[in-house]
Structure 1
Amino acid sequence: MTVDVVVVGAGIVGAASARALARRGLRVTVLDRRAAASGTTAHGEGNLLVSDKGPGPELVLAQHAAARWPSLVAELADELGGPGGGFPPIEYDPKGGLVAATTVEGAGPLREFAARQRGAGVDAREVDVAVALDLEPELNPGITAAVWYPEDAQVQPVAAAEALLASARRAGATVRTGVDVVGALRDGDRIVGVRTTAGDVPAGAVVLAAGPWSGVVAERLGVVLPVRPRRGMVLVTTRMPHVVRHKVYDGDYVGATQSGDAALRTSSVVESTAAGTVLIGSSREQVGFDDRLRAVVLREMAARAIRLFPFLAAASAMRTYLGFRPYVPDHLPIVGPDPRTPGLWVATGHEGAGIGLGPVSGELLADLFTGAAPAVDPAPFRVDRPAVVGADHGAHHGADQTETIAEAS
């Protein structure tokens, strides 16, 4: 049977796209070569941030997402039963974020960045050390500047993706896991479905939402898409009293997220989870799909975290994990139809912002697909922008290692 849309990828972006399309009455099938939400979605911290984005299209999308998340959480709770109703909570926590400079040199750029954000409508409040310590009593009192972002939030990413998929199923979508896409079905130049390890799946359109594997899958579909994996690692402490109250990171984090450098970049990102652990990040490096942990990266992350929170020097690390973020040269998501290939749509390239931006990206894609008026200007995220179609297409760096990837999306 031919469905209206095949969504390739069951992470949070694919789940959100499937939900939005199915709720508009389209027949949707979601395919993933491994378990749902087991790739990039399962290997992040669940950040819903405006604090790390400078003025521009991504910030506009993030502001829309920040406004949308509370109503989305309410919709999912009402639809799926919420806590105690048979579906686990997604742990949405609008706890706010604190960004601190730990050096004299870092204070000025942090204040300047916050001032630019305020000009774009972000609630970015410069606070003195006393207020910062009131917000986070265990913070290093030697910080040189701090900005409070009450709009930042956190969510449990796998639970959120699973909830979106459950909602999509209730709207009629089918989710098939353990199915690998190996090629395209074509009618002339138009894609009319996909070939998979479980047989052909005819469809009116295909949505590519495979996160950092999107470049690899695009190649199988006969398309070049410059999405590369950017590896990141996270340390997890043993459980402890809830000491870190908000999301806290140092001012270097913004520079690390916006860097195009393939070499290692680290910064300090610290936050507690509902389970009582503390998550410590973050790192970024382009090494293909190499999934080997590097002790030097973990040491750098730990040292930076201790500069923010000295008490962490005595904490015990319970485990560590890594994941791959979908990197695009201009650091903007790709959302919309691919004019080079009729029938192909794309929703990928969010790098480390996919959890926060996933739901609104899926809704944006569905708006474009159905001809509805989009809530944000889609032009900056189009597939045929210069940074995508004109990029150096070393996009499949590490593609020869795809069969050994443990965290496939």
Structure 2
Amino acid sequence: MKSYDLAVIGGGLVGSAIAWGAAKGGARVALLDEGDSALRAARGNFGLVWIQGKGAGMPAYAAWSQLSANLWPALRDALEGETNLHLGLQQPGGFYFCLSEAELETRAALIHRMSNESGDIGTRVVGRAEARAMVPGLGDEVVGATYCPMDGHANPLYLLRGLQAGLRAAGGDYLPNRHVTLITPQPDGFRIACGTALISCQKLVLAAGLGSRELAPMVGLQMPVQPLRGQILVTERMRSFLDYPTHNVRQTQEGTVMLGDSHEDVGFDTGTKISVQQQIAARNMRIFPALRDATLIRSWSALRVMSPDGHPIYEQSAAHPGAFSAACHSGVTLAGAHALAYAPAILAGELPEQLLPFSSQRFHVQAH
């Protein structure tokens, strides 16, 4: 039975970022990845580093997202230096396009509310003429947009690969095909059973996405997460026409165009649905008419990891100190914060005050 300073359960973007950050901090780290039997939300990620509109009603989430966006360049530089992978990070700002005056008014009200709640980060309403000047080729139905200078995007698959390669380079152990069946608190830490295999650790992080719900009570935590399906379409490679990420269209570094996004409450169904894909394609062709000539080459769905209020969950167990939770549906956006802020806090043994609002105790308050 091998012993570690920290075991991270969950090999997706959240767990991999925390594991890499902890290993860079000098800890002996094991990253336990369930393998291809897992739901693999990380592999279905759209790839946005998205700030505008993030954290409405929860200023702590807005601040955490902004911190992560600011930390992303340091994360990129470190990973690309260690792995020779190009993560494709670009942060030119991003657009949320609106197809009616009513939609634009609703969006503007949200941005105004967030500015009052969390401070002005430069997000603003852009009229039709300015939007067309900044993004040539917009459809006639686009009446305007909101633009945030902090928004960006990256390649989620290269990010995942880079984090796991960086973990190994820092001396950590990446352990695939480890399905955790039992976590037992010990006087000096925790014992984790993966079938008949055992490891011990002084601290652990539950970052297993939707699987965390069943594991959390074993260490005195609560992670009431639920799935929310999203579908994505991908076109063939196209000439470069989009220099900015948008809420539901982005052109990748290879030239393909990704189209999203749906929000479907269908439980654990990871299938795709033609009628939903038609809706995605129809709306995005109204925004970018050039997409009508593109050939779709693939599509997929993935299950977001959603808390009851849609915001992340971060907490240390009161019953079993040293056990931490980490759950969110923004694995790319928050990768900088997870690697360079959350991981050091775990090694220090105490979450900073800025993360206290993310405790699962907020759900008990809401229920009461």
TM over 0.5, shorter chain: yes
Structure 2: unaligned runs, 5 residues or longer: none
**CA shift at 1:337, angstroms?**
1.0
- Alignment-derived partner of residue 316 in structure 2: 337
Query: Does the C-alpha gap of structure 1 residues 373 and 67 become closer, same or farther in structure 2, counting only changes over 3 Å?
Result: farther
Contact map agreement 2:228 2:263 (CA 8 A) in 1: yes
Shift of 1:361: 2.6
Cα distance between partner residues in 1 of 2:350 and 2:220: 30
Q: Tell me what 1:106 maps to.
A: 103
The answer to whether the Cα contact below 8 Å between 2:30 and 2:172 also exists between their aligned partners in 1 is yes
Identify the residue that residue 155 of structure 2 maps to in structure 1.
Answer: 156
| Deviation digits for residues 277-327 of structure 1 (CA, Å, limit 9, x no counterpart) | 110100112222111211111111111112212232332211101111110
Matches within 5 A, 1:9-408: 9-34=10-35, 39-55=40-56, 56-80=59-83, 87-119=84-116, 120-187=119-186, 192-197=190-195, 199-218=197-216, 224-249=222-247, 269-348=248-327, 350-351=328-329, 353-371=330-348, 377-383=354-360, 385-387=361-363
Indicate conservation of the 8 Å contact 1:61/1:376, yes or no.
Answer: no
Question: Any idea what SS the aligned residue of 2:96 has?
Answer: strand
TM normalised by structure 1 equals: 0.81
- 8 Å Cα contact 2:94/2:244 also seen in 1: yes
| Residue 107 to residue 93, structure 1, CA distance change in 2 (3 Å) | same
Aligned identity (percent) is 27
Measure, in 2, the Cα distance between the counterparts of 1:390 and 1:117: 23
The C-alpha deviation readout for 1:353-379, integer Å capped at 9, x for no partner, is 221113313444333323389777111
Local SS of the residue matching 2:164: helix
**SS of residue paired to 1:276:** coil
Deviates more, 1:292-301 or 1:32-41: 32-41
Q: Whole-Å Cα distance in 1 between the matches of residues 161 and 39 of structure 2?
A: 10
Residues 1:28 and 1:161: Cα distance change in structure 2 (over 3 Å): same
Relative to structure 1, is the Cα distance of residues 70 and 187 closer, same or farther in structure 2, using a 3 angstrom cutoff? closer
The structure-2 alpha-carbon separation of the partners of 1:110 and 1:34, relative to structure 1 and needing over 3 Å to count, comes to same
Cα deviation, residue 197, structure 1: 2.7
1:139–1:309 Cα contact (<8 Å) kept: yes
How many Å separate the matches in 1 of 2:309 and 2:176?
Answer: 31
SS across alignment from 1:95:
coil
Q: TM-score, normalised by structure 2?
A: 0.90
Structure 2 CA distance for partners of 1:241 and 1:108, relative to 1, 3 Å? same
Structure 2 distance, partners of 1:222, 1:365, is: 20
RMSD of the alignment, in Å? 2.5
> What is the CA-CA distance between 1:339 and the residue it aligns to?
1.7
Aligned residues: 362
Q: Is the 8 A contact 1:129 1:146 kept in 2?
A: yes
Distance 2:104 2:193 in 1: 53
The amino acid of 2:193's aligned partner reads R
Do the aligned residues in 2 keep the contact of 1:236 with 1:320 (CA within 8 Å)? yes
1:405 corresponds in structure 2 to none
Q: Aligned pair in 2 of structure 1 residues 125, 53: CA closer, same or farther (>3 Å)?
A: same
CA contact (8 A) 1:157 1:355 kept: yes
Instruction: State whether residues 364 and 378 of structure 1, in contact with CA within 8 Å, keep that contact through their aligned partners in structure 2.
Output: no
**1:107 alignment partner, SS class:** helix
Q: Secondary structure at the match of 1:109?
A: helix
Contact conserved, 1:347 with 1:365, CA < 8 A, in 2?
no
Q: What is the CA distance between 1:178 and its match in structure 2?
A: 1.1
Cα 1:288/1:222, change in 2 over 3 Å: farther
Structure 1 residue 70: Cα displacement? 1.1
Separation of aligned partners in 2, 1:37 and 1:124: 37
Aligned partner letter, 1:165: Q
